[in-house]
Chain A
Amino acid sequence: MGMWLFLFTELLLFGGLFIVYLIYRVLNADAFLSASYELDVTMGTINTVVLLVSSMTIAMSITAIQKGDSKKSIQLLGTTLLLSLMFMVIKYFEWSAKISHGLFPGLDLYKSLPPGEALYFFLYFIMTGLHALHIIIGAVIIAVTMYRTRKGLVTADKYTLTENAGLYWHLVDLIWIYLFPLFYLIH
């Protein structure tokens, strides 16, 4: 229950940003459309698939620990961890491409953009950045869960940590499910 309440506060954190996005998008519909062509739909789609698969592997790690198979549970958590790393690597390439084009707030190209497009990139960096931070936190929680499972502190009778790691990770996935169409699929 504690974890769910925490997830609700997270929802409101991102929810506020989604409302900001909604208003600015309605006010700058054309600018958001043209700015969105700067994003790479292929990379966004790959990252969506990566997160969905990782959501399945962490859900399966709960199944494994419930069955008492801690080795398999650790393997599945490890797979989730690798997928989170993959997400971050792809995100890194996306961000660094934007930054080298000068689209990061404060850089030359960003300053020369029409106000609507600048807003789009501002929100893009804020929202995907906050999401990436959640990915990193989620990865740390998964690593801790793996360690504690290995130590025998997480068992078939006591797997709350695995459940909470799963819930947190699914939340990260849920936020991306909305971020992806809102930023990449405006076309």
Chain B
Amino acid sequence: MAPRGSYLDLFVSLVLPNTLKTMAHKHTNDDHSENHEHHIVSYREHFSTLIALLFLTVVTVAISVFGASLASLSVFTAMLIATVKVVVVAYYFMHLKYDKKIYGWLVIIVSILFVAVSVLTAIEYLNR
């Protein structure tokens, strides 16, 4: 986990449910082992991910530069494409695909919270 930060593991273990607690303690006792499976993602898979991300970048720039008539659509589309790119980076490059499910759920929950706060702020502000 965090470099030389076994205290972080302990702190986390206080917050998380029992199953994880035992795991985190096991980890602090045995500092040399990683506490997750070693799934090795191939170079090829990383390269394919990059190609997908570059393709999405080309699309979003093309829409913006050449698609002026779609002005009203473009903000929404640009954010949608950016979000797809972010999901691709998190899922493949950041190994969420192979990590324990809890990481994915945390990301989803935090993202939902953030979107909720943004939307509520926008609604509140624009309805004055």
Contact = CB atoms under 8 A, between A and B. Distances in A.
A18 B121 CA distance: 12
A185 B46 contact: no
Contact of B50 (A4, A56, A177, A181): A56
Contact of A174 (B9, B86, B106): B86
Contacts of B107: 4
Contacts of B64: 41, 181, 184-187
B32 A158 contact: yes
Nearest to B99: A4
Interface string A13-28: 0010011001100100
B14 interface: no
Nearest to B93: A59
B61 A2 contact: no
A41 B107 CA distance: 31
A59 B9 contact: no
Given A52-B50, A158-B32, A158-B34, A26 B90 contact: no
Contact of B93 (A26, A55, A185): A55
B112 interface: no
B2 A19 contact: no
Given A1-B8, A2-B9, A11 B1 contact: no
Contact of B114 (A11, A163, A185): A11
Interface residues of B, number: 54
Given A160-B1, A160-B3, A181 B32 contact: no
Contacts of A22: 118, 121-122
A63 B1 contact: no
A174 B89 contact: yes
Contacts of B68: 187
Contacts of B3: 160-161, 164
A56 B51 CA distance: 10
B82 A2 contact: no
A52 B118 CA distance: 27
Given A1-B24, A22-B118, A56-B47, 7 more contacts: A5-B12, A19-B121, A23-B121, A170-B90, A170-B93, A170-B94, A174-B90
Interface of A: 1-6, 8, 11-12, 15, 18-19, 22-23, 26, 41, 45, 48-49, 52-53, 55-56, 59-60, 62-63, 66-67, 157-161, 163-164, 166-167, 170, 173-174, 177-178, 180-182, 184-187
